[in-house]
Structure 1
Amino acid sequence: MKYIRANLLTPARNLCAAFSSSSPIPTLLTHFTHDPCPQAHEHGLPHLASFLGRTFTGTDGVARYFEVMTSELGFEDMSFEPEAEWLVDTSTMAVVIRGTAKFYAKRTGQKWDEGFVYRLGIAEEVNEGVSGRGELKVQEYEVWADTGAAYLALNGRLGEVLSEEREGGTGGAGRTRRSQDRKRSGCGEVVGSGMGAYGSCGQ
C-alpha cells in the first residue's frame, strides 16, 4: 500500500503544532519514531553553533539536539505556510515546509526575524509483536535556517550589523555606511560604475 498526501500531512502537522506551541522536549519526541531510528540535522557549519552541521541519531540524540539548540536560542510567533503549499513526495515519504519566527539568542537577548525550511522524512513506527501497519511519525528532521544571524546574535554582534545597515538610509537597504560613502564620492558598487572619461575612483 502506498501512502497518499493526506497520510503524510498528519505527522508533519502534529510536529509543527508541537513546535509552534513551544512544547517540552518529551512531547516533541512523541512525534518521532523510535524504530526506525530517528535523526535530526540542522544544516550549517559546526563552527557557528554547537547544534549545527551534526547528525544527532536515535531518540537520545534527537533529544540532545533540542536540548542544545533550546539552551542557546528561543523563538516567538512561529508560524507555517498554509498546508496547501506544503510539498509532499509520496515516493520518498517526505514533507517540505516553510516557516517564519522571531528568534533570539538567550545569552545576549539579540533578536531577528527568520524564514526557515523543514524537510520531514516520515516512516512507520515498528511495534514488535504487533501485526499490520504502524503509526506514521517523523523519522528524519532536517532544517535550513539563517545560521549567519544565529552566529552573530550568539556572539552579540547582530545589533552592530543591523545598525550599519540602518545607517545606510531608507533608500539604501542592505548597504553599510561605507558603501554609502563610496556612492556619494562617485565610487560605484559595481564594476565600471563611478568611472569618468579620464580615470576612475582613487586616481
Structure 2
Amino acid sequence: MTRPGLLKPIHAFLEALTNPNPKDPNQLLSTFTTFPKPLVHEHGLPQLAPFLGRPFTGQDGIATYFELLSSLLSIKNMVFEPDESWVVDASCMAVSLRGTATFVWKQTQQAWDETFAYRIKLAVDGGGSQETRRLAVCEYHVWADTGAAYLARCGRLGDLTGGGGEDFEPEEGIA
C-alpha cells in the first residue's frame, strides 16, 4: 500500500471528525470498518472520565464513544500537523499524527488547550460485498491530557491555570 493510499481514508476520517455533517450523523461511523470489528481506545485511567481507559468495539461501541464524548465535551479549533509530519507505517497500515484543539467540559464550562496524539490503524472493510470493500479505520487510539479533562470535569482546572485559584505549587520533593 502506498503512502497516498493510506492517507486517503485518514483524511476522510479527520474531515468527518472535525466537520460533522448534521444531515448525515453516520458520516463519521462510515469511516470505520464493520469487519474486522473496529476499536476506539482513549488511553488513561477510567476513573478520570467515562470515555477513558476502556475499549469501545464494533459500530455500536464506536457510536457510544462519540456520543459520550460529544455529551461531555465541546471541541473547538481542532487542527492537525501537515501530513508530511505524520508517521506512516505501510507494513502494518497505521498512521500516527498529532493535533491541537481547545476542549471545554460542558457541565463546568472549564476549557483547556492541548496537543494530542492519534494512532490510526487501517484495514480492508470486509463487511460489504466484494465491490464495496474499501480501506477504513479499524483501530483509533487517542493519547490526550487526561489530567486536564479530569480537573475540568471536577471544576478544578481554574485552580491550576489561574482562572479561579492560586498558582500550582508542587509538593515538597517534587519538581
How does the TM-score come out when normalised to structure 1? 0.78
Aligned to 1:56: 56
Report if the CA contact (8 A) 2:34-2:127 is conserved.
Answer: no
Unaligned runs of 5+ in 2: none
Aligned to 1:134: 133
Q: For the structure 1 residues 189 and 33, does the alpha-carbon distance in structure 2 shift closer, same or farther, using more than 3 Å as the test?
A: closer
Determine helix, strand or coil for the equivalent of 1:27: coil
Report if the CA contact (8 A) 2:100-2:116 is conserved.
Answer: yes
Q: Greater share of strand residues, 1 or 2? A: 2
Whole-Å separation in 1 of the counterparts to 2:76 and 2:128 = 40
Aligned to 2:84: 84
Aligned to 1:118: 118
Whole-Å separation in 1 of the counterparts to 2:114 and 2:46 = 20
Determine helix, strand or coil for the equivalent of 1:59: helix
Determine helix, strand or coil for the equivalent of 2:76: strand
Aligned to 1:14: 12
Whole-Å separation in 1 of the counterparts to 2:173 and 2:124 = 58
Whole-Å separation in 2 of the counterparts to 1:94 and 1:47 = 29
**AA aligned opposite 1:105:** W
Report if the CA contact (8 A) 2:20-2:27 is conserved.
Answer: no
1:150 aligns with 2:157: no
**AA aligned opposite 1:99:** G
Determine helix, strand or coil for the equivalent of 1:35: coil
**AA aligned opposite 2:112:** W
Whole-Å separation in 1 of the counterparts to 2:106 and 2:126 = 38
Whole-Å separation in 2 of the counterparts to 1:128 and 1:166 = 55
Q: For the structure 1 residues 188 and 60, does the alpha-carbon distance in structure 2 shift closer, same or farther, using more than 3 Å as the test?
A: closer
Which portions of structure 1, spanning 4 or more consecutive aligned residues, are displaced by more than 3 angstroms?
Answer: 22-25, 164-168, 187-190
Unaligned runs of 5+ in 1: 169-175, 180-186, 191-203
1:40 aligns with 2:40: yes
Determine helix, strand or coil for the equivalent of 2:104: strand
Q: For the structure 1 residues 34 and 72, does the alpha-carbon distance in structure 2 shift closer, same or farther, using more than 3 Å as the test?
A: same
From the CA coordinates, give the structure whose radius of gyration is larger.
Answer: 1
Q: For the structure 1 residues 150 and 23, does the alpha-carbon distance in structure 2 shift closer, same or farther, using more than 3 Å as the test?
A: farther
Q: For the structure 1 residues 160 and 138, does the alpha-carbon distance in structure 2 shift closer, same or farther, using more than 3 Å as the test?
A: same
**AA aligned opposite 2:103:** F
Whole-Å separation in 2 of the counterparts to 1:47 and 1:188 = 26
Determine helix, strand or coil for the equivalent of 1:46: coil
1:70 aligns with 2:81: no
| Identity among equivalent pairs (%) | 48
Whole-Å separation in 2 of the counterparts to 1:188 and 1:156 = 27
Q: CA deviation at 1:27?
A: 1.5
Whole-Å separation in 2 of the counterparts to 1:32 and 1:13 = 12
- The alignment of Structure 1 onto Structure 2 pairs a total of residues equal to 172
Report if the CA contact (8 A) 2:18-2:78 is conserved.
Answer: yes
Task: Single out whichever of 19-28 and 79-88 deviates more from structure 2.
Answer: 19-28
Q: CA deviation at 1:23?
A: 4.4
Structure having greater relative contact order (Cα 8 Å, sep ≥ 6): 2
**AA aligned opposite 1:19:** L
